[in-house]
Structure 1
């Protein structure tokens, strides 16, 4: 498997080559209003920080280049990051994913040179998971950082959805008998030299009407209260009198060398 990384926008990408990017994410994460306010400018200003991994195995097999994006290579992973300012102190970390977007735009608008790269997404195509591509993608994203830059990541722990009632601080401390993190995505980061430095209990706040949450989760919400929702890292709070549901997504901050 010959794997290379290149900017997402280095060449035209057929839509079908990236159709899988929405897979594996719960629908509700795409409805964060605060994030939506920032993403347009983020994608415009920092397009050079969006990467894809290409598998060139099909080129070696003799397939014609025009059959796949990337001169015959197949897109097998993708991720992106933003540049921001951070002092290195835990109490100066962004509050999470959404705040990282705001901090990146604040630094840009103020003309402040960034000193930190925040990796905000890294995804492997579902049919290619379990082959070490996540680590390759994280390394490629880390390499985007200038030598003087710190690298941080608000990690969405993949197994936390099985334990939505457990506070994120406790979950972050869980380990396996060998001392490595209990969560497999956290474990990947740590094996690449990352270290857990803090939790982000309010990385994203997603709100909507009861009808919207029913559509996003596939659940009926017949009463006000707390609900365990599919793929939720915490619970959904529903107030039917106010016709409002609110979900607070926790993440875990990892700093890379």
Structure 2
């Protein structure tokens, strides 16, 4: 635990639901327009309170400084088998299917750890991951998995994700800080989800989301994007297909 910070679930503090939902973690605007993700955020406060982790200062218990979202899913196979190429979007859908079927799931899938910018590098992300693992074990699940969005990849959008993941520290751990946090807690990188999140919009929408002109066909480098956005002037649209990294931690 980090001194002076309390970590609970939304079930324990339901009155914080709105503050959890509106926490500004510094995501780029276009990331808010994945249609599958938009559906999840509408469901989270009602259906996934046991799996939503909240961090607050001990001396200001109504101030949300970080949140973590996760969903129970059914895998039926040992990862990486059963982990979809469509990563984050697919995990949300699998969670919804499990809920509709009344199935508690055999794996907990971490969807997001969002920390207020001034609280990053505090170790809070690792504490939220630990709470995810504890929740999964308490629910009798066998696995923790996550389609990870490695933050350092946005600095090298034209590099393939496989090349980025291969970067290691002298100790042999992932160079990316978030992947390294997972590894230090016992998780392994088990694959890449090449189409984990998809954001499609008109050129007018992309101009509004990014402030960029989107006036040239082909790849566009967008701040905060892990890979280039593809601009299609003929059809007045642009598409962003984000890859993520699947990590797995056995819990049994």
| Normalised TM-score (structure 2) | 0.89
Distance in 2 (CA, whole Å) between partners of 1:246 and 1:105 is 25
Alignment of 1:1-257 (within 5 A): 1-9=3-11, 10-13=13-16, 18=20, 21-56=23-58, 58=59, 68-70=60-62, 74-86=63-75, 87-94=77-84, 95-145=86-136, 146-257=139-250
Shift of 1:4: 2.7
Alignment partner of 1:121: what SS?
strand
Shift of 1:215: 1.1
1:139-198 C-alpha deviation (Å, 9 max, x unpaired): 112211023431011111000001111111221111122211111111111111111111
Alignment partner of 1:202: what SS?
strand
Distance in 1 (CA, whole Å) between partners of 2:97 and 2:234 is 37
1:25-65 C-alpha deviation (Å, 9 max, x unpaired): 11111101233244423442222211112332x3xxxxxxx
Question: Of the two, which has the highest radius of gyration?
Answer: 1
CA contact (8 A) 1:239 1:245 kept: yes
Shift of 1:124: 2.0
| Normalised TM-score (structure 1) | 0.87
Off by >6 Å, runs of 4+ in structure 1? none
Shift of 1:121: 0.8
Distance change (3 Å), C-alpha of 1:83 and 1:134 = same
State the superposition RMSD in angstroms: 2.0
Distance in 2 (CA, whole Å) between partners of 1:121 and 1:19 is 12
CA contact (8 A) 1:214 1:221 kept: yes
Alignment partner of 1:231: what SS?
coil
CA contact (8 A) 1:14 1:69 kept: no
**Paired residue total:** 243
CA contact (8 A) 1:84 1:118 kept: yes
Distance in 1 (CA, whole Å) between partners of 2:141 and 2:216 is 52
Distance in 2 (CA, whole Å) between partners of 1:18 and 1:116 is 24
Distance in 2 (CA, whole Å) between partners of 1:218 and 1:7 is 36
Q: Note the residue ranges of structure 1 that are not aligned, 5 or more in a row.
A: 59-67
Alignment partner of 1:92: what SS?
coil
